[in-house]
């Protein structure tokens, strides 16, 4: 059995994303990648709870149940759409990866978010008011600050390993992989800004009409 066959993606992706991507693309099927997405997106959705004001409208156990139910659904949809974008943009840089290969390899980006789960669960049950209100300066300031720092580090590292993963999946250089990820991000930001401005102008126009 060679080194590649002994890889544990949940551990190896942190420092060896290219090897791990190659291993998953060649040795693992779609069910395995769906399992990674389902677990990883629990951590991602946990980070999205900040300042949502779901509590006390919902009990913590209901929120936790929704996290478990929604994470595989939203995770698969998100990974499918993002993989489609990466596949298409990568073709502009002469990438050779198929959509299935991109989908399987991009699931690995969800793994680091698993680290966030215990931090947000502790925050949720120790001081839910500060988590759901977004006011991190509560009675237990240390836990929220540590959680946010870990979230920032994990998010940055996910982007770093995603560059290597895209490079391996598309068989392109790291720089081309960077722009494969960077271009759709910029496009998304521009689209969101335009939508925000249009909504703001619409609200302003309606307010002007009713003021008259």
Check whether 109 has a pLDDT greater than 90: yes
Q: Is the dihedral of CA 167, 76, 108, 119 positive or negative?
A: positive
pLDDT in tens, 179-195: 999 887 787 778 777 87
Six-digit token string for 202: 């619409």
Cβ contacts of 14 within 8 Å, gap of 6 or more: 111, 112, 157, 161
pLDDT of amino acid 57: 82
pLDDT in tens, 50-63: 888 888 788 889 88
Confidence (pTM): 0.83
pLDDT of amino acid 117: 95
pLDDT of amino acid 5: 62
Q: How confident is the model at residue 211 (pLDDT cuts 50, 70, 90)?
A: low
Q: Out of 20-34, 96-110, 135-149, which region has the weakest mean confidence (pLDDT)?
A: 135-149
pLDDT in tens, 123-166: 998 888 888 887 776 667 888 899 999 999 999 999 999 999 99
How far apart CA 28 and CA 25 sit, in angstroms, is 6
pLDDT of amino acid 112: 95
Q: How confident is the model at residue 210 (pLDDT cuts 50, 70, 90)?
A: low
Q: Which of 146, 139, 181, 147 is nearest to 162 (CA)?
A: 181
Q: Is the dihedral of CA 109, 114, 116, 121 positive or negative?
A: positive
């Amino acid at each position: 059995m060679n080194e590649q066959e002994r890889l544990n993606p949940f551990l190896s992706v942190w420092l060896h994303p290219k090897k791990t991507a190659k291993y998953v693309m060649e040795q693992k099927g779609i069910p395995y990648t769906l399992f990674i997405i389902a677990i990883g997106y629990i951590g991602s959705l946990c980070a999205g709870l900040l300042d949502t004001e779901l509590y006390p409208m919902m009990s913590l156990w209901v929120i936790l149940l929704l996290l478990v139910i929604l994470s595989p659904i939203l995770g698969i949809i998100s990974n499918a759409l993002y993989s489609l974008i990466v596949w298409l943009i990568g073709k502009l840089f002469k990438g050779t990866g198929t959509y299935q290969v991109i989908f399987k390899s991009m699931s690995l980006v969800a793994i680091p978010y698993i680290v966030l789960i215990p931090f947000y669960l502790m925050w949720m049950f120790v001081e839910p008011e500060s988590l759901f209100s977004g006011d991190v300066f509560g009675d237990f300031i240390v836990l929220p600050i540590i959680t946010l720092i870990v979230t920032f580090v994990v998010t940055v590292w996910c982007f770093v390993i995603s560059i290597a993963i895209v490079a391996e999946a598309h068989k392109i250089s790291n720089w081309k992989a960077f722009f494969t990820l960077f271009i759709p991000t910029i496009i998304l930001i521009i689209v969101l800004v335009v939508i925000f401005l249009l909504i703001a102008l619409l609200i302003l126009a309606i307010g002007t009409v009713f003021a008259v």
